[in-house]
Amino acid sequence: MATKIKTVWYCTSCGNESAKWMGRCPACGEWNTMVEEPKAPKSSSGGGVAVASRSRAYIETADAQPRRLKEIDLSRDNRFSVGIEELDRVLGGGMVEGSMILIGGEPGIGKSTLSLQIPLCCRNLRTLYVSGEESPKQIKLRADRLGGSDEDCFILSETVLENILDRARELQPALLIVDSIQTIFSEALESSAGSVSQVRECASALLRYAKETGTPVILIGHITKDGTIAGPKVLEHIVDVVLQFEGDTKGSYRILRSIKNRFGSTDELAVFEMTGAGLREVRNPSEILVPMHQDKLSGIAIAAMVDGTRPFLIEIQALVSTAAYGTPQRSATGFDGRRLNMLLAVLEKRAGFKLAAKDVFLNIAGGLRVADPACDLAIVASILSSNFDLYVSPKTCFAAEVGLSGEIRPVSQVERRIAEAEKLGFEEIYISPFNKESSFSARGIRVTPVADIAALCRKLFQ
């Protein structure tokens, strides 16, 4: 008689284990996150899961002793540059030895291209590139297209965790890249690759290898249809750095955003352009994100936004037209649709503009997604410009938040926004009157404070 395989229920959000199905996870409180998987086998010594018992002890070493906080030495610099300045800045100044980095993004966004460009750009970096999705010939073709063939970059097409770790210990690379973590599986577990238990245990084993050898590990992760990284949520807790690739795959620009970073700030982001020769660094994104167009076009306004600590200017495009059907359409590309509805309601209630019977379409140029409240004033200006069919001067930009009462509210880091606008040759910037003027009164750009939407209309369309 065949032996019955025992199964357990795992929470995909926190990794909690349960003997039976539950509608709500008792550990994290999330609903409908329990999945059934085969129970991991016990080790011969009876010490629990064979992989987990080893991987969860990665921090325990024979000479580990408690030390006073003031006695810990920080003089040794354990960072190194990866040869890509934008990536170095997002990582906080370079890659830390023994760290684990998770890169997630949509299919075709450029995750594998970026990870392969690291050993090609950083010469003499002994790298082991493990691919569970492509053959070595496919990787070689991509490397040739990227314009380089590094002698210190080794390619391994493997999906078994134990074989990967054995080859890594033999080669002793300075960097290990795994593409992708969802394709790797351990023979000690009976579940299939990509399951909750496999992703969790494989990531834990790779983390133990990174901490024991001091080798940084880069993991490529798939994402789900709602934009989150596939697999258990505990994967993001295990790794040291989580980087998210954003952008429209139909466009050429990509944003690499830091979601979690134990060795630096999460306020930094990098901008790349996808070309035929791979990802190109965009050092000054403002000059590219403000595209050239004909003068005197209505429905266009420039927003001076800040993402993290990096200021840049983007173009807001709006189109207001008479609704052809009974229900007017509200569409936003690259911007929160609910916030667009809120701004339209403010224009209707507080400023008296009748937009309830009109279609409103909003687009952020360049295929980007923005969430900075400082874009509110530029969005309002673009909507009014399209509604009146009057253009806004291309030498004018905006940086302020719009409140529910129609007032213009101040935003943070306004000095950075004004300096960026002045550097790009803008002549005027509209801000809130509640921003302190002492820090930017001597600049060459004209700073115009506006108190409400009515004042904005008088100054723009008088």
**Contact present, 330 and 341 (Cβ < 8 Å):** yes
pLDDT the model gives residue 57: 40
Mean pLDDT within 86-91: 90
Identify the CA nearest to 143 among candidates 132, 154, 158: 154
Q: 439-456: per-residue pLDDT in tens?
A: 555 468 899 999 999 999
* Mean per-residue pLDDT of the chain: 84
Token pair listed for 308:
């993290």
* Per-residue pLDDT at 314 exceeds 50: yes
- At residue 76 the predicted structure's pLDDT band, cuts being 50, 70 and 90, is low
Which one has a higher pLDDT value, 296 or 15? 296
Identify the CA nearest to 148 among candidates 173, 132, 163, 127: 127
% of the chain exceeding 90 in pLDDT: 43
CA–CA distance, 442 with 136 (Å, rounded to integer): 59
pLDDT the model gives residue 381: 95
CA–CA distance, 445 with 395 (Å, rounded to integer): 10
% of the chain exceeding 70 in pLDDT: 88
Identify the CA nearest to 343 among candidates 329, 353, 334: 353
Q: Please state the pTM of the whole predicted model.
A: 0.75
Q: 329-339: per-residue pLDDT in tens?
A: 999 998 999 99
Cα angle at 287 between 374 and 362, to 5 degrees? 45
Point out which residues pair with 317 in neighbouring strands. 300, 363
Which one has a higher pLDDT value, 157 or 18? 157
Residues 6+ apart with CB under 8 A from 255: 245, 246, 247, 269, 270, 271, 272, 368
Q: Which of 122-126, 137-141, 379-383, 390-394 is the least confident region?
A: 122-126
Mean pLDDT within 427-432: 93
CA–CA distance, 371 with 337 (Å, rounded to integer): 11
* Per-residue pLDDT at 171 exceeds 90: yes
Mean pLDDT within 257-261: 90
pLDDT the model gives residue 185: 92
- At residue 115 the predicted structure's pLDDT band, cuts being 50, 70 and 90, is very high
* Per-residue pLDDT at 96 exceeds 50: yes
pLDDT the model gives residue 34: 84
pLDDT the model gives residue 337: 93
* Per-residue pLDDT at 62 exceeds 70: no
Which one has a higher pLDDT value, 326 or 59? 326
Mean pLDDT within 191-200: 84
Q: 403-423: per-residue pLDDT in tens?
A: 999 999 999 889 989 988 988
Residue-by-residue DSSP string for 278-321: EEEE-S-HHHHHS----SS-BTEEEEEEEETTEEEEEEEEEEEE
pLDDT the model gives residue 99: 93
pLDDT the model gives residue 452: 92
Q: 19-56: per-residue pLDDT in tens?
A: 888 888 887 788 888 888 776 555 444 434 444 444 34
pLDDT the model gives residue 37: 76
pLDDT the model gives residue 56: 40
pLDDT the model gives residue 175: 95
